[in-house]
Each structure stands twice: as structure tokens, then as C-alpha cells.
């Protein structure tokens, strides 16, 4: 067996054993992507989204510059919390998708955030919205997509990508993902972690850190489960868990910023 083959088999066996030994515990897959893979993957997804205006009608950044200023301001306060590992490495670019009927947001690996106008209009204040943004940014910063991808595509295919032999398949997966973001859901452990980090990020800002909990409280009474729950499945006692994390940090009450949020909403079409 030549050296390259040996290394491939060695890595494969290691990951295979790791996957088997951890399959009883959800969400403990090894991350075989590099940070550069995350960034490249996010860019691929972003290109797919940009080239599909029928599915993703993006709000123009020049025509709706004011709306983007608001969303960048909110994103920047989260990044300035100092709690993101890849605050300086990932792009943290944001696009607003014009669709008032969809209550969802997502963040591709490498920090490419997409937010539907539907969820912006649905929420009542900026702390809730910042809570949702923090949750999405946590999925990228904690690199949860790897688990999602490993479950969906299998370790062997991903290994091929990591070893650089499979660039066309990387593009194909990005295309698949962009075509059906709603079909790939995070694990409940990843959801819990994204909720926790949302609270941690916001706790360092002027926002009330329970913002993301406000969103879940608000959708609870909704007769139709929003799209958000199809890509972000709800763990048990989600709201209680958010409050626990907030209390653990000291239970500081922050601002909700209703006025600036209404201004943000008024800049949308
Ligand atoms: Zn989520």
C-alpha cells in the first residue's frame, strides 16, 4: 500500500470508528473540514443563491442601502461581543431575501447569512431579531454544518472533498443545499448550542440576551409551524433552557430597542 493510500485508510478508519462509537450520542461527529473548506463551501452556496433569483429574490444592496445599514449594525454588535471564534476570519456577509411569507433565516458555513423579510416583519423588537441573528451566526461559528453534511452525505464523500480530489462534488453539494436549505435540519444538540451562544453573544451587548427566547415564545402560539422549525428543529424545553443560560450569566436585563427596530422595518419594501 503506498503512503497516500495508507493515510487515506488511516483517516477513514479513525473517522469510521469515531462515528460508530459516537452514534449513540447525537452531534459528536468529528470535524474533517478545515476553516478554508468552510469558507470555500459558504462561497459556493452564496454563488448558487445569487444565481437563483426566482428562489432567492435578494433585496438590492444599493436600492435598500438603509435596510442593510440596520442589519449590518445589528450584526456588528454581535461580532463585537468578542465571543465568536471566527469573527475576523469569516465573511459575515448578509443578504435579505424578499419574501414576507417565510419566517426563516440561515447561515452558510464561513458566515454567509440570509434573512427573509418575513421573519424581520414578524418580530417585535431588535433584541428578538439580534437573538435570531446570533443563533444563525453561532451555527457557522460553532461549525455545525459539518454534522449536518456528514449525516446527509456520508463520511467517505466528505473525505474525498477534504483530500482535494472531489471539487466538483463540493460544488454539487453546495448547489443541492442552496436548492433545498429547508430539507437539511440541524440536530437538536446543535440547536441548543446555537441558542446558548446567542444568549452569550447578546449578553455582552446592550440587547436583552433573552431575545432568541422571545422569538420562540412568539412562534409557539402560531397555528402554522414556521419554516424556521423545519431547518432548526425545536429541542425540548427550549425557552426554559435559554432562560437558564441567561440566569447562569447573571440575569442582566437589557434593552429591546423597539423604536430602532420599527425604523429598520420601515426601510423594507
Ligand atoms: Zn438553528
Give 192 Cα–ligand 1 centroid separation in angstroms.
8
- Residue 202 CA: distances (Å) to CA of 58, 83, 102: 27, 10, 25
Give 232 Cα–ligand 1 centroid separation in angstroms.
4
Give 144 Cα–ligand 1 centroid separation in angstroms.
9
Q: What is the pLDDT of residue 184?
A: 66
Separation of alpha carbons 77 and 130, rounded Å: 9
Burial status of residue 30 (CB atoms within 10 A of its CB: 0-12, 13-18, 19 or more): middle
Give 2 Cα–ligand 1 centroid separation in angstroms.
43
**Which grid cell sits at 255?**
434593552
Give 231 Cα–ligand 1 centroid separation in angstroms.
7
Give 136 Cα–ligand 1 centroid separation in angstroms.
6
Q: What is the pLDDT of residue 236?
A: 81
Helices (H), the chain: 3-21, 35-50, 65-79, 117-122, 126-141, 145-153, 155-162, 167-179, 188-203, 211-220, 228-231, 238-249, 258-266
| pLDDT, averaged in runs of 10, over the chain (269 residues) | 44 41 43 81 86 93 98 98 97 97 91 96 98 97 80 70 68 70 73 97 98 92 82 87 98 98 98
Q: Output b/e per residue, 138-161; b: 16+ Cβ within 10 A.
A: bbbbbbbbbbbbbbbbebebbbeb
Give 63 Cα–ligand 1 centroid separation in angstroms.
30
Give 9 Cα–ligand 1 centroid separation in angstroms.
34
Amino acid at each position: 500500500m503506498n503512503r497516500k493510500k495508507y493515510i487515506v485508510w488511516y483517516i477513514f478508519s479513525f473517522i469510521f470508528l469515531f462515528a460508530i462509537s459516537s452514534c449513540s450520542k447525537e452531534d459528536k461527529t468529528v470535524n474533517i473540514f478545515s476553516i478554508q473548506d468552510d469558507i470555500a463551501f459558504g462561497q459556493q452556496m452564496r454563488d448558487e443563491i445569487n444565481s437563483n433569483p426566482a428562489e432567492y429574490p435578494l433585496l438590492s444592496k444599493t436600492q435598500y442601502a438603509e435596510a442593510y445599514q440596520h442589519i449590518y449594525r445589528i450584526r456588528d454588535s454581535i461580532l463585537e461581543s468578542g465571543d465568536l471564534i471566527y469573527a475576523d476570519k469569516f465573511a459575515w456577509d448578509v443578504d435579505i431575501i424578499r419574501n414576507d411569507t417565510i419566517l426563516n433565516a440561515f447561515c452558510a458555513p464561513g458566515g454567509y447569512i440570509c434573512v427573509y423579510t418575513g421573519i424581520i416583519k414578524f418580530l417585535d423588537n431588535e433584541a428578538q431579531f439580534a437573538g435570531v441573528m446570533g443563533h444563525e451566526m453561532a451555527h457557522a461559528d460553532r461549525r455545525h454544518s459539518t454534522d449536518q453534511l456528514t449525516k446527509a452525505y456520508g463520511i467517505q464523500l466528505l473525505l474525498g472533498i477534504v483530500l482535494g480530489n472531489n471539487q466538483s462534488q463540493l460544488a454539487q453539494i453546495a448547489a443541492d443545499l442552496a436548492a433545498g436549505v429547508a430539507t437539511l435540519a440541524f440536530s437538536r444538540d446543535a440547536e441548543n448550542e446555537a441558542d446558548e451562544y446567542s444568549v452569550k453573544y447578546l449578553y455582552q451587548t446592550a440587547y436583552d440576551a433573552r431575545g432568541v427566547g422571545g422569538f420562540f415564545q412568539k412562534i409557539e402560539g402560531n397555528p402554522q409551524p414556521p419554516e424556521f422549525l423545519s431547518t432548526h428543529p425545536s429541542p425540548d424545553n427550549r425557552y426554559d433552557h435559554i432562560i437558564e443560560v441567561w440566569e447562569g450569566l447573571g440575569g442582566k436585563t437589557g434593552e429591546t430597542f423597539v423604536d430602532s427596530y420599527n425604523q429598520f422595518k420601515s426601510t423594507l419594501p
